[in-house]
Structure 1
């Protein structure tokens, strides 16, 4: 047994060493890309390298405002040496220049081994279109947490930074995006798709949530009627049932609770009364005064503008519930093992996701494919007793944390353990004794000794952790 553990420990050590070598090589590649650009300054502005998209020249500079131009003739040779397309070589050069000249904090962290090069490049790709001031702002905000969080959380963080720093431009982009909403049905014209049709589209989020819930209800109704097809097949069938039940819009219906008239034909499923879909919208307190600070959507975790929230809340028939701000540092305790909804909501607002290292599964209920028997959306994570209830642990907010089912099972059966460092902060231990500190600013590996203190977070604090001052509306 000890030999197996020793072998496993050796493998884990080798994996860490290889990952560090890979990240060091990627950082070195960024550094050499900048050196290559420095060796090939542009002589004639008309010959400067510009970004391409799918092989077509866009005329847009490789990097953002204030970065040096590069001679276009040098790009292809660098790309060939990397065994990649010229477009990919342009992207590497542009992102390296963006990091070196406009995101110096991230650049330094990459070369200290704190931030993987791929994450820094992802940030650089998003900041190239921004002004110098906006890029500096993003650099300051993102550098505090990048390397500790996953790509989805990183994209949300950058979006929130842009919404806060450039609210007028963000609102213009939002309105332009709304004009791009569409719903397309691509019919099979050759028989190659065996009579199936592809459906694509872009919907407003409340409309998409309603459609998703309706399709889920329809799929369940088909199952209740005896349909043995898989869930995915039943969902596709449910869309057809929706179309046949209401072939034209009926905008005079005042109640969502009345079931539609069943379509003709034997075996047609009778829909159950619809359960209203709740959209959780959170606004930091400062937005109530300024109207410009971004909020976020509890259902998806995405940042949105205050203008978008106003539009959604102003729709006819919308019911708004303003809940009091929850003190997330307060300890709430109940007797017994079962976790009530108010405590589930408390820990979901505090932690926002599963708290296992690097997991980003949202902790709030999802009105999509997970429903309880009564039709209400089920929570997408379990409320885990950190100290087991049977071992004397209490059902209290300071002894509960959201864990997705996979990681809950790892903690229960596979030797993973964790304890609380503070509100929303946890120290995990793997079966082989490796430590990982998880908190609102992501995950960091702990190698011996105490976990590192949280990184200083530049103002405004609400940008990086808006859940601390939520004003949810439903």
Structure 2
């Protein structure tokens, strides 16, 4: 950092503000580490699976912290549980296993985010390997590139854990994946991200196939850009593969939970927004199967527009679309026994969208009885909520408590005495 006095007063003000941000970030980091020290549990206690289980969030040798107490910390930081765990893990790694880098961070010579980038990498190393990276990178951490960090960590891993390098290479083969992110449809344009990690040979074959079909589409008169034709090619390849199995239903399937206002030309679906024209394009495509579920929103609404949309879908297709009964998110449905009926389960899932714990964004959830079923809690809309497994355990085995004030509105009370309100009805 330069110590010279800037002549431009406005630029000097920016520099002062930047320096203040660095100080505040370090102050928050130190406060979090003090909190970790106050909520530390021993490895022996953590292994007993007691009522206060522990988490090892940093690398080997870092202290363990109380799992349920981290939920309080996540709420105070305004972070999701996963984001909070990453932050705490990096903080513990930096403080306990990278002392040289830690000293530079406290001295405001290296920003917290850059140090965390290194700490995230060294958590996979044994103590000696982390110490080697600390010695190599601390002096130049303020200016080194991410590629330099990766090379230094890889060198330390090879030197200290040669067997681990081979194990990771073989394990990487088991972590190949191909994901189509249907739960994150982009609003209005109706597109989704596709990501994957493939074997090199498979990746080359896929790229060749996509390029070949994209070229054929151009020869057949498609005037889209090359990138757009490659995207279209993936769909064509997929539909061709489906058609090979005569017992498999071909074509795409579109399910829409329709939250449609009469004065709007967009359809509010679960997790995204699309135009009616985008929906029309899907419906007119050969082989498309469309399911429409009209939804009456919180705190109440009119299903007429959604029902009209369902009728429009039938007109677009010139046949009957699959139109399901209206879901009223304000209705208090009931089921006999512990397990909710499919209709009740669908209503709760659409209403809550994801885990209802403060700041949690996890979509893989349980349906929790707010008042436990074995204590007289009924299986009904007003007594059910979506909780991820971690927060379900916290509600069951720790002092965390919550209640549903009205449909889609939940009030949580933390062991530290804080109160948080989660209002799904207010979300767009």
**RCO higher in structure (CA 8 A, sep ≥6):** 1
Higher helix content, 1 or 2: 2
What TM-score, normalized by structure 2, do the two folds share?
0.43
